[in-house]
Amino acid sequence: MFPMVTGFMNYGQQTVQTARYIGQSFMITLSHVNRFPVTIQYPYEKLITSERFRGRIHFEFDKCIACEVCVRVCPIDLPVVDWKLETDIQKKRLLNYSIDFGICIFCGNCVEYCPTNCLSMTEEYELSTYDRHELNYNQIALGRLPLSIIGDYTIRTVLNSSHHKRQ
């Protein structure tokens, strides 16, 4: 008879423990009911990037002195700098500057170490294309500033999902 009593006690303890686990999981589920949705409808809603966001690199051709510091600090030696030495003034003249964003890891070292601040990070992150060769930007493409999504009325910008009311 003793094993039967301990069996009932174990069954009772297991039942209480199971009910406690179900109650705890139900409380966790209820705590998530009042949370705002995390997902956004991407093409129609876009997140406003933070101030320190590292997007596409913007290049100012007139400021560059062709010192190649950006190439030396890049972990993958990515920027291609073509220059010509002007013998009469003993200075380098920049001919071409290009970055392949298909290879770039967006570390920001080139922007940080540039002595003339001719490189800067933009908020542009939509660089997808069907042809990877289109990701090789020359100085003209790098010089274009990205369009701001804040002024576009067809796109709803989402600042932070916790600050907005649920729809």
Q: Which residues are annotated as a binding site for [4Fe-4S] cluster?
A: 64, 67, 70, 74, 104, 107, 110, 114
Residue owning tokens 């922007």? 111
SS3 23: helix
Long-range contacts of 131-136 (CB under 8 A, 24+ apart): 132/102, 135/100, 135/101, 135/102, 136/98, 136/99, 136/100, 136/101, 136/102
SS3 35: coil
Whole-angstrom distance between the N-terminal and C-terminal Cα of the chain? Answer: 62
Distance separating alpha carbons of residues 80 and 77, to the nearest angstrom = 8
Annotated binding-site residue numbers? 64, 67, 70, 74, 104, 107, 110, 114
User: DSSP of 41-64, one letter per residue?
Assistant: -TTTEEEPPPTT---SEEE-TTT-
